[in-house]
Structure 1
Amino acid sequence: MRILVLNPNSSQAITRVLSRVADDWAAASGNDVVTEYLPDAPELLVTQADNELVAGQIWQRIARLADDGFDAMVIACHGDPGLPDGWAVQDRRPVVGMGWASMQLAAAGEGWGVLCVTEEIVADKVEQAAGYGLTGDLIVARGALRRDYETGSNAALGCLVAEVTEIAAAGAASVVLGCGAMSGLAGAVRERVPAAVIEPLSAALDQSVLLACATG
């Protein structure tokens, strides 16, 4: 199966992180993944206004999936820009938002939490989860203290571990990393925290395969 991962911002650093995570997933799953980004988009999507700004560009790319030989697509932004339901189908090809996929996976278990990219969007994140019908077991949503997790630095890792540990201490059995910039640190965080850590890109890639099999 051939899957497109689209980072809908213009950050090449975050795109490199997403590409590494996608490549590791592809090697383990036997699928083919291509990672792209939107060079004309903002460097980071934070607010709903940011998401709305790029929705048109995202759907232009979705419209070319069949012509470019892709079987599915993942929107690699936790706000799921352009996808009010968190996922869609275009020409029998599923388009999956990693926010929807990761929160759905978390909500399938016991109480869960989500670490948002910043405190200012916590209310939006809760509203997003509610729109997907996933807030029943949501214990805590909180904002991250840094915006440089894509660097993979020891300082960034230490901060991310502390933040996830706090969410786990509040009773969350699983914690969703609510930004693709955090994805590259997911494995290291898992080794250091007392909760399941849900890396959103891999969750979305898994879901895209399931939906492609169901709709293809």
Structure 2
Amino acid sequence: MRIFVILPILRNEVFEDITRRELEVAKRKDTEIYVVSLDEGPASIESAYDEELAAPWILERVKEAEDKGFDAIIIDCMGDPALHAAREIVNIPVIGPCQASLSIASMICDRFSVITVLDRLLPLFRRKIREYGFEDKLSSVRSVEVPVLELEKKREEVKARLLSEAKKALEVDGAEAIILGCTGMVGMAKELQENLKVPVIDPAVASIKMAEILVDMGISQSKRGYPKPPEKLRIL
């Protein structure tokens, strides 16, 4: 199968390379992945404003993926930007890392915590988790206070802060599992899980596995829930 992975940010070779490398490890041997970013849009997504700015260009990539015959699409951001719109305009599965991670967490624990990049994103995550129907399982949302574009440069510092915040989530907030709250943290879950002795979900990996499952099952988003938009004049 062939999976189209959209990084919903301006072209960034560092993030593209990291994402490609980590997903190559996570995917099945018979799965091919193609990682692309945007020609226009925000440099990173750290607000609802960034999500809305990225949406038109994400949707262009979504159409491109189906036109090129890919089997599934991942919008590689924990905000799941343009996810519902994307599901309306194509027939192949479209995966959002946040929804995929929350769904997996709900099967393996009663209470989970999300650790994201910045404190300013905490309200966005609470709203998203409420929208997806997992609010009753949320212990807390915490952050490492490192911007997205500095995650790789400060990788060791980020890992240390993740460990510190995760321990608080377990010991203070009562979490039983941890979700990494940014796909830019790809590749950091394994070491954290070994240290904490609880499940740690990498949203990028959760997305690739969810995409593989849906393609294997031959199912996609229901067109009763995501009907095709009506034909009309639209100018951007």
TM-score normalized with structure 2 length: 0.83
What does residue 215 of structure 1 align with?
Answer: 219
- Per the alignment, in what secondary structure is the counterpart of residue 8 of structure 1? strand
What does residue 15 of structure 2 align with?
Answer: 14
Determine if the alignment matches structure 1 residue 171 to structure 2 residue 170.
no
What does residue 82 of structure 2 align with?
Answer: 82
Q: Which amino acid aligns with 1:17?
A: I
Q: Which moved more, 1:197-206 or 1:140-149?
A: 140-149
Unaligned runs of 5+ in 1: none
Larger Rg: 2
What does residue 200 of structure 2 align with?
Answer: 197
What does residue 151 of structure 2 align with?
Answer: 149
- Per the alignment, in what secondary structure is the counterpart of residue 64 of structure 2? coil
The residue correspondences of 1:22-171 to structure 2 (distance < 5 A) are 22-26=23-27, 28-84=28-84, 88=87, 90-108=89-107, 109-147=109-147, 148-151=150-153, 153-169=155-171, 170-171=173-174
TM superposition shift of 1:90 = 4.7
What does residue 230 of structure 2 align with?
Answer: none
Is residue 112–residue 176 contact of structure 2 (8 Å, CA) maintained in 1? yes
- Mapped to 2, the partners of 1:39 and 1:131 lie a distance apart of 30
Q: Which amino acid aligns with 2:21?
A: R
TM superposition shift of 1:153 = 3.4
Q: Which amino acid aligns with 2:130?
A: A
Q: Which amino acid aligns with 2:20?
A: S
Is residue 168–residue 195 contact of structure 1 (8 Å, CA) maintained in 2? no
Is residue 6–residue 35 contact of structure 1 (8 Å, CA) maintained in 2? yes
TM superposition shift of 1:39 = 3.5
Q: Which amino acid aligns with 1:192?
A: N
- Mapped to 2, the partners of 1:180 and 1:214 lie a distance apart of 26
Q: Which amino acid aligns with 2:58?
A: I
Judged with a 3 Å threshold, the aligned counterparts in structure 2 of structure 1 residues 199 and 153 are, in CA distance, closer, same or farther, namely same
TM superposition shift of 1:115 = 0.9
Judged with a 3 Å threshold, the aligned counterparts in structure 2 of structure 1 residues 156 and 116 are, in CA distance, closer, same or farther, namely closer
Is residue 113–residue 138 contact of structure 2 (8 Å, CA) maintained in 1? yes
**% identical equivalent positions:** 25
TM-score normalized with structure 1 length: 0.91
TM superposition shift of 1:89 = 6.0
Q: Deviations over 1:91-129 (max 9, x none)?
A: 430111111111121122220010122111111101101
Question: How many pairs are equivalent?
Answer: 214
- Mapped to 1, the partners of 2:175 and 2:186 lie a distance apart of 19
TM superposition shift of 1:204 = 1.0
Determine if the alignment matches structure 1 residue 185 to structure 2 residue 184.
no
Q: Deviations over 1:8-59 (max 9, x none)?
A: 0123322222111211122x45311111111422221011110010111111
- Per the alignment, in what secondary structure is the counterpart of residue 175 of structure 1? strand
- Per the alignment, in what secondary structure is the counterpart of residue 79 of structure 1? coil
